[in-house]
């Protein structure tokens, strides 16, 4: 695959190994609480994500994962990371053990990620997507929505970006919708909305409001 054929995708909130997500996403029939969720059901949840991810992402594509990749130590589920297509760049979420709010423990967790196929780790980023009069449109990347009057999460306020007028791609909300009227110029790329990584073309489509 040539450089011109490499695509970029965005996703968030896969929560590999997370019993509660397996329950909420329908992989644990008969379970009433996360304590009822079996390891087999968690495995089914994780394998469903791997299959969906690899159905749209090729080996040389870039995937920006906007946080809450997993609650587990990376070494526990390193096999999953090795089977995911693409070059994965992680914008850390509050459940990722490498996030700075875990303090000293975050250093070891970040080293684990970089040893297990995660190409890049940060708490926020700015990229561009194709489109617009200049050919590229700047886009902010964060796990969290912008910090606005109606969207302050006091637990993680230090990690919420100030609205700067540029588009923001985010996760965290677990909404089933990609856009919300109260979150202007923001697009939710989380797994609960898309059930797969989202392409740049789909992001541009939403930006244009068509």
Instruction: Give 145-163 pLDDT, tens digit per residue.
Output: 998 756 777 888 889 999 8
Beta bridge partners of 190: 12
Hunting for tokens 């996403």 — which residue is that? Answer: 25
pLDDT band at residue 3 using 50, 70 and 90 as cut-offs: low
C-alpha closest to that of 157 among 179, 142, 167: 142
Q: How many CB atoms lie within 10 A of CB 49?
A: 21
Q: Across all residues in the chain, what is the average pLDDT?
A: 92
- Collapsed DSSP state (helix, strand, coil) of residue 45: helix
> What pLDDT was estimated at residue 2?
53
pTM (predicted TM-score): 0.93
pLDDT band at residue 132 using 50, 70 and 90 as cut-offs: low
Q: How far apart are CA 160 and CA 158, in angstroms?
A: 6
What is the DSSP code string of 70-138?
Answer: BSS-GGGGHHHHHHS-SEEEEE--TTSTTSGGGTTHHHHHHHHHHHTTEEEEES-EEEEEE-STTSEEE
| Domain of residue 149, residue span | 3-207
β-strand pairing of 8-11 with 136-141: unpaired
- Collapsed DSSP state (helix, strand, coil) of residue 188: strand
Domain of 144: which CATH number? 3.60.21.10
Q: How many domains does the chain have?
A: 1
β-strand pairing of 198-199 with 8-11: antiparallel
> What pLDDT was estimated at residue 198?
98
CB distance 147 to 162 below 8 Å: yes
> What pLDDT was estimated at residue 153?
74
Exposure of 180 in the CB half-sphere (CA atoms within 13 A): 18
Q: Which residues contact 164 (CB under 8 A, 6 or more apart)?
A: 140
Q: How far apart are CA 140 and CA 93, in angstroms?
A: 15
> What pLDDT was estimated at residue 183?
82
């Amino acid at each position: 695959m040539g450089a011109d054929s490499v695509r970029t995708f965005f996703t968030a909130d896969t929560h590999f190994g997370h019993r509660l997500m397996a329950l909420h996403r329908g992989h644990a029939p008969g379970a009433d609480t996360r304590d009822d969720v079996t390891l087999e059901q968690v495995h089914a949840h994780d394998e469903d994500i791997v299959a969906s991810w690899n159905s749209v992402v090729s080996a040389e594509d870039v995937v920006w994962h906007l946080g809450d990749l997993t609650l587990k130590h990376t070494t526990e589920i390193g096999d999953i990371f090795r089977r995911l297509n693409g070059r994965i760049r992680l914008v850390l979420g509050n459940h990722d053990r490498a996030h700075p709010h875990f303090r000293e423990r975050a250093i070891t967790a970040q080293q684990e990620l970089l040893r297990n196929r995660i190409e890049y780790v940060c708490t926020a980023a700015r990229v561009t997507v194709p489109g617009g009069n200049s050919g590229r449109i700047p886009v902010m990347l964060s796990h969290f929505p912008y910090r606005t009057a109606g969207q302050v999460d006091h637990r993680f306020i230090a990690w919420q970006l100030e609205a700067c007028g540029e588009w923001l791609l985010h996760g965290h909300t677990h909404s089933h919708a990609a856009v919300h009227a109260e979150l202007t110029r923001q697009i939710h790329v989380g797994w609960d909305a898309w059930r797969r990584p989202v392409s740049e073309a789909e992001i541009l489509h939403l930006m244009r409001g068509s």
